[in-house]
Amino acid sequence: MSDIVKDAWSKLRAATPARIGLGRSGAGLPTGANLEFQFAHARARDAVHSALDVAALEAELAPFEVIRVTSAAMDRASYLRRPDLGRKLGAGEAEKLNARTPCDVAFVIADGLSSAAVQAHAAAVVHAASEKLDGLILGPVTIATQARVAIGDEIGAALGARLVVLLVGERPGLTVADSLGAYLTYAPKPGTKDSQRNCLSNIHGKGGMSYDQAASKIAWLTRAALERGLTGTGLKEESGAVETENAPLIDGA
């Protein structure tokens, strides 16, 4: 007599975080699956709308010098409705960055669409990556709020950085709400095209890219970019292990 299989989907569910084989109760989902979905949706919404604790992040970044700036978006509602405002500095903010000693690499941290990701992972990635960038001049770390990826171009230009590494909270999903992305841009300046960036995504360490993996790839891309004078589609990431995306994910950020 053959064994009775109570749940034919159990092995498949164990192999993926995707919601598959949830079953049904009448015309809807079972109570457990429905509650899990609502919880994941609430986490994603909170990740988008919660404010970044800048003071706590700055403390975690010690001993780096930290500069705080804001985008042209006055509040979260403006940021979500007007993506263009999140891509440029607010009035007078560039003055905080001027008169700095030029550097090889400048880290920029932007809250993006998941402050939860930035709060949880950004400082650890900066520390891990900086340890692998010995021999290069690192500028101050800039924390930009209500900010998207392209704001790094203006910040990098003002700091006189040869390359910007921008860490940003990626658009949260129903599986992972705190995923961090890293965008590298050589010779940053306003008007830089998205195709001129390299991207690492899915940094969170819970089935995604670990801090050490991200740091190794950031270091490899940084040195290759400075040596070859480019980032983007012309620079293929070849450090091995986890896949890297050269095509930009803009603008979940």
> Tens digit of pLDDT for each residue in 18-33?
777 777 778 787 777 7
Backbone angles phi, psi at 71, to 5 degrees: -80, -175
Contact (CB, 8 A) for 164 and 156: yes
Number of structural domains (the chain) is 1
**Position 208 in a domain:** yes
Q: What is the DSSP string of 168-236?
A: EEPPP-SS-S--EEEEEEES--TT--GGGEEEEEEESSSSSB-HHHHHHHHHHHHHHHHHHT--STT--
**Position 41 in a domain:** no
- Residue ranges making up the domain that contains 91: 49-228
Asked if pLDDT for residue 251 goes beyond 50, the answer is no
Whole-angstrom distance, CA of residue 186 vs CA of residue 51: 30
**Position 247 in a domain:** no
Whole-angstrom distance, CA of residue 134 vs CA of residue 229: 19
Contact (CB, 8 A) for 253 and 169: yes
Q: Specify the CATH number for the domain of residue 126.
A: 3.40.50.11240
**Position 239 in a domain:** no
Residue 66: C-alpha distances to residues 101, 108, 138, 144, 238 (Å): 14, 10, 12, 10, 31
pLDDT recorded at residue 31: 79
CB atoms within 10 A of CB 168: 31
**Position 6 in a domain:** no
Q: Which helix (H) or strand (E) holds 166?
A: strand 161-169
**Position 35 in a domain:** no
Quick one: which of 232, 197, 198 has its CA closest to 217? 198
Mean pLDDT score of the chain, rounded to an integer? 87
CB atoms within 10 A of CB 236: 10
Q: Which two tokens stand for residue 76?
A: 């979260």
**Position 160 in a domain:** yes
Share of the chain above pLDDT 90, in %: 65
pLDDT recorded at residue 4: 56
240: amino acid identity, one letter: G
Q: Write out pLDDT tens, residues 191-249.
A: 999 999 999 999 987 778 999 999 999 999 999 999 999 999 999 877 664 444 443 34
